[in-house]
């Protein structure tokens, strides 16, 4: 006696559950967003000079940019020489002084650069550094 197989549709339709896949994707997205380090850039492009003794600075610092045409910027906004001291005073409370980093264009006026350093020190900065590119 031959047995015959019945080719019927299963009683329940096969269902693909996507919820665990979505959960894993959301977990990975949150992980990558939370572990990404964001570095505050001054928002102004400067052509930094090169130095053999260049080193990486801490991420927590106050960054100013001095352009070749004599503009001083912080956070992408032009603040001028008069804005350096109040910015340093506001962002660097007593006892928790942040280092100041000046990204100066290699063609910037050295007198203006010295004035920015002076204003930063008068604003309370204990450490003022110049940003350079490593040779």
- For the entire predicted model, the pTM comes to 0.59
Query: 57: which DSSP letter?
Result: P
Question: Which domains, from first to last, does the chain contain?
Answer: 50-134 (3.30.420)
The per-residue pLDDT for 130 is 86
51/127: higher pLDDT: 127
The per-residue pLDDT for 72 is 92
**% of the chain residues with pLDDT over 90:** 21
Average pLDDT, the chain: 80
The 3-class SS string of 70-86 reads CCEEECCEECCHHHHHH
Residue 79, CA distances (Å) to 5, 76, 111 in order: 84, 9, 17
pLDDT in tens, 19-68: 888 999 999 999 888 887 665 555 666 666 666 665 665 567 888 999 88
């Amino acid at each position: 006696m031959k047995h015959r197989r019945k080719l019927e549709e299963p009683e329940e339709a096969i269902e693909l559950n996507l919820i665990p896949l979505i959960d894993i994707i959301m977990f990975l997205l949150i992980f990558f967003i939370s572990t990404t380090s964001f570095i505050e850039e001054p928002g102004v492009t400067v052509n930094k000079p090169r130095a053999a003794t260049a080193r990486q600075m801490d991420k927590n610092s106050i960054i100013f940019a001095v352009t070749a045409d004599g503009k001083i910027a912080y956070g992408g906004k032009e603040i001028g020489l008069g804005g350096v001291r109040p910015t340093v005073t506001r962002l660097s409370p007593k006892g928790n002084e942040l280092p100041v980093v000046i990204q100066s264009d290699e063609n910037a006026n050295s007198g203006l650069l010295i004035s920015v350093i002076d204003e930063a020190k008068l604003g309370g900065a204990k450490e003022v550094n110049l940003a350079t590119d490593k040779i």
